[in-house]
Each structure stands twice: as structure tokens, then as C-alpha cells.
Amino acid sequence: MKFDKTIKIYLFKENARVDFTIKVNNHLAITYWLDVKDFETLLNGWRNGVNMEEGGRHWYMEHKKHGPRPESKSTSYVRLSISGNGQRFNYRVKYAEIEMLEKEYFYQKHNKMFWDK
């Protein structure tokens, strides 16, 4: 099955959980599970930066306007860092992809999806 988005979500309303999958490459995608409350915390804070602790993991999400130092070139992307159990995963996602993620989440929240009971 083709995974053509960088981020794919499924909102499971019956148990208030979001399956949040990030495509790393054509052969690897990593899925995290978040409570709706925590997922909405990320969506409400990513433009200015949000830190969150959830289930033994630390989440950090922020819109970045400059690349890493020392160059600090002007750019626009969203940094998503997830750490726990001695591991840290750092993702760089296009700004537009996070905007699409927001739209997809609210579409799923306000519409019946085929997986809804």
C-alpha cells in the first residue's frame, strides 16, 4: 500500500485516541498513539513551540524560521522531536504538511469515518 503523505493520522473517537504515523522513507514509518487531548495540545501550540510530557515520552514541536547554526539560513519547517526510553527521534516536516494535518484532524473529528463504530 502506498504511503504518500509524510504524516498520516486516524482519529479513533470511541477511545479518544489518535494514531499518528510519520513516514521516514519508502520502507519505514513510525506510529505513535496520543490521547485526543494531547494531540490537540500539539496542534494548538506548534506555531510558537510546545513541550509536552505524555506516557513517558517528551514531545517538542515548533515552527522554525531558520536552519541550524552556524549558518542559520532563512527557511520554514516544523521540528518535531519525540524522546523516551533513551531514544530521540527528530523529524523535519514542511509547514504546509502540518497545516494539512490540522485540516485532516478536524475533518475526521467532525465527520463519520469508515473506521468509526
Residue 68 in this model has a pLDDT that exceeds 70:
yes
Q: What is the pTM of this model?
A: 0.89
Report strand pairing: 57-66 vs 50-54: antiparallel
Residue 1 in this model has a pLDDT that exceeds 80:
no
- As a whole number, the mean pLDDT across the chain is 93
Could you tell me which residues are beta bridge partners of residue 51?
Answer: 60
- The H or E element containing residue 73 is none
- For 14-52, write each residue's pLDDT tens digit: 999 999 999 999 889 999 999 999 999 999 999 999 999
Residue 105 in this model has a pLDDT that exceeds 90:
yes
* Torsion, Cα of 22, 46, 54, 87 (10° steps): 50
